[in-house]
Amino acid sequence: MGKAKYIMLDCDNTLVQSERFAFEACADLTNQVMEKHNIDTRYTAESLLEDFVGFNFRGMLKGLQKKHNFEMPEDELESFVEQELGAVTRKLSEKAVECPGVTEQLNWLKGQGYPMSVVSTSAKSRVVASIEKANIAHFFPPEHVYSAATSLDPPSSKPDPKIYLYAAEQLGVKPSEAITVEDSKSGATAAMRAGIPCIGYVGIYGIEEGKEKMDQMAKLLAEETKCMSIMYDWKDFQECLKKVEDQM
């Protein structure tokens, strides 16, 4: 049996219920892009979530270009990314709440001596706004909050594993020595590609969309992204962690 040297945690809809609020904030901007490029499709927060959960806005805009066969100049893309970041950060600083049971488990991890970091696809200012509003920022030193959108040059987005590899390098651990928790296919795929054992958290789907969606995601994360344990509720975290550590 091994013991993880680092616990890496996704933020949106893993630590903090934030994804839906964020997608509410960026739906209007997405529709401005569609209108500007003469595309009839319009998006709601729900339809964006269906297609782009786990992506940051830059990754979403690139996905939209591919899906609808159009091209955005780089300066236009960056302008929309900047606008979205401000809108989402304001929304999360007002509305973000922790996923149920997170604080209890972070306290347990701290008491057990596990070092922790946040490894997110979202911009760092957005992540910090989320964890501050959810009252869990004190668990994570600012230098241990890593963002695929902000920490990397050029910026990236999960499922690209670059942010996990970068975080592991900065923290001085091998990917195989860490364990992460992810809620989305893109995030869990990034962990898998980086070689980091992953616990798939699906409880947020039960909260927001119901048991059927939660069970679908549990199957997807276990089979397609090879998550080593599936967590339906944060109260089960210690059991899931032990299951993964027993295989390390």
pLDDT in tens, 231-240: 999 999 999 9
Is residue 196 assigned to a domain? yes
**Which mean pLDDT values do the consecutive 10-residue runs of the chain (248 residues) have?**
89 93 89 96 92 87 95 95 90 93 98 97 93 97 95 94 98 97 96 98 93 96 97 98 95
Task: Pull the structure tokens for residue 152.
Answer: 């990397």
Q: Do 187 and 175 reside in the same domain of the chain?
A: yes
Q: Indicate which CATH number applies to the domain containing 185.
A: 3.40.50.1000
1 part of a folded domain: no
The angle subtended at Cα 23 by Cα 21 and Cα 24, nearest 5°, is 65
Report the pLDDT value the prediction gives residue 2, as an integer from 0 to 100: 67
- Number of helices (H), then strands (E), belonging to the chain: the values are 11, 8
Single pTM value for the model: 0.84
Contacts of 233 (CB under 8 A, 6+ apart): 100, 101, 203
Do 55 and 161 lie in a common domain? no
**Rounded-to-integer distance, Cα 44 and Cα 93, Å:** 21
From residue 42, how far is each of 2, 202, 227, 244 by CA, in Å? 49, 28, 34, 42
What percentage of the chain reaches a pLDDT higher than 70? 99
pLDDT digits (tens, 9 = 90+) for 74-116: 999 999 999 988 998 998 999 999 999 999 999 999 999 999 9
